[in-house]
Amino acid sequence: MKNLLQKHETVSVGKDRFSLGVSAKNWGLNTNIEALNDVSLTKGITREERDVLLRRLSDDNESHEGQRS
């Protein structure tokens, strides 16, 4: 059992330890910019609808802070 566990590759996590410099050479290769360009809403969301969606992102933040306080 011990040997099996030792075979697993693990990343040692430290609170001040960053994982840096993994190659991004394959980034964006499967972005279909032509198709993406064609993606559109018939009429787009309104400012109010946009603000509701953005607020949801920050509301997640507030509930997150609330849990910690």
Partner 1 sequence: MTTNPMKVSEVKDQNILVDTNIVIYYAANGFKERSGNILRTLANNGNKIGISEITAFELLHDEQKNEVEDYFYKFVNYIHRVPVEQGCLQNAVALAELYRVVCNNKKVPDNDLIIGGTAIHYDEVLLLTTDRKDFCEPLWDTYARDNIYYKEEGDVEVTLYLLRFNKEVIKLQK
Residues contacting 19, CB < 8 A, separation 6+:
11
CB 31 within 8 A of CB 39: no
Kindly state whether residue 1 participates in binding partner 1, applying the rule CB under 8 A.
Answer: no
Q: Applying CB under 8 A, does 7 fall inside the site for partner 1?
A: no
Nearest-approach distance from CB 12 to partner 1, in angstroms: 9
How many C-beta neighbours within 10 Å does residue 21 have?
6
Residues of this chain that interact with partner 1 (CB under 8 A) are: 11, 13-24, 27-33, 35-37, 39-47, 49-50, 53-54, 56-57, 60-61, 64-65, 68
